[in-house]
């Protein structure tokens, strides 16, 4: 008797997972403009800690700030997905989610090629919202992929965003 087993679905161990309990240990923050930057919020995560960005400080301020993962190894992976949760309040620009296979891991994100990823984002009231399954298989097989959250705001509108429970799993 020969038993044959097959498995379809996602891998048990995530390729990347972070709930921000260790601060930005798995991330790089990069401020292009503005005094406000990504911070760790230990009060409002889902649960525990989360990454938070707001351009509001005594008024609305112009900002562009990036939250970028450290390199994630996708060598030998044929398909993968990204999931995360976001919470938002106040009016302002939407957060944009990207991936790159040619970012150098430090310095200005403008030196890399970034692909916009479709994600479901929270719209108001700091309601935690699941991103949905975001296919990042286009980067599968590459030695490294970077995931980035780009926050922008203006002098007239500064939304606040929180990000938590970021996970990449093999399919």
| pLDDT at res. 18 | 98
DSSP code for 105: S
User: pTM here?
Assistant: 0.92
| pLDDT at res. 6 | 43
Q: What is the mean pLDDT of residues 87-98?
A: 98
Q: How do residues 33-63 score in pLDDT, each as one tens digit?
A: 999 999 999 999 999 999 999 999 999 999 9
Residue 7 pLDDT > 60, yes or no?
no
Are 169 and 10 in contact, with CB atoms under 8 Å apart? Answer: yes
Q: How do residues 144-169 score in pLDDT, each as one tens digit?
A: 999 999 999 999 999 999 999 999 99
Integer-rounded Cα radius of gyration of the chain: 17
Q: Which two tokens stand for residue 131?
A: 């991103």
């Amino acid at each position: 008797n020969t038993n044959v087993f097959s498995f379809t679905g996602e891998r048990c161990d995530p390729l990347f997972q972070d709930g921000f309990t260790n601060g930005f240990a798995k991330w790089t923050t990069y401020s292009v403009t503005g005094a406000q930057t990504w911070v760790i919020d230990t009060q409002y995560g889902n649960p525990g800690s989360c990454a938070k960005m707001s351009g509001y400080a005594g008024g609305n301020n112009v900002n562009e700030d990036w939250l970028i993962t450290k390199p994630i190894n996708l060598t030998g992976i044929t398909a993968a997905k990204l999931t995360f949760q976001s919470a938002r309040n106040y009016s302002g620009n939407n957060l944009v989610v990207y991936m790159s296979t040619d970012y150098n891991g430090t310095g200005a994100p403008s030196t890399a090629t970034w692909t916009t990823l479709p994600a479901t984002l929270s719209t108001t009231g700091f309601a935690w919202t699941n991103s949905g399954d975001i296919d990042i298989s286009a980067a599968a097989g590459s030695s490294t992929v970077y995931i980035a959250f780009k926050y922008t705001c203006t002098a007239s509108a500064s939304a606040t965003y929180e990000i938590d429970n970021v996970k990449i799993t093999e399919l």
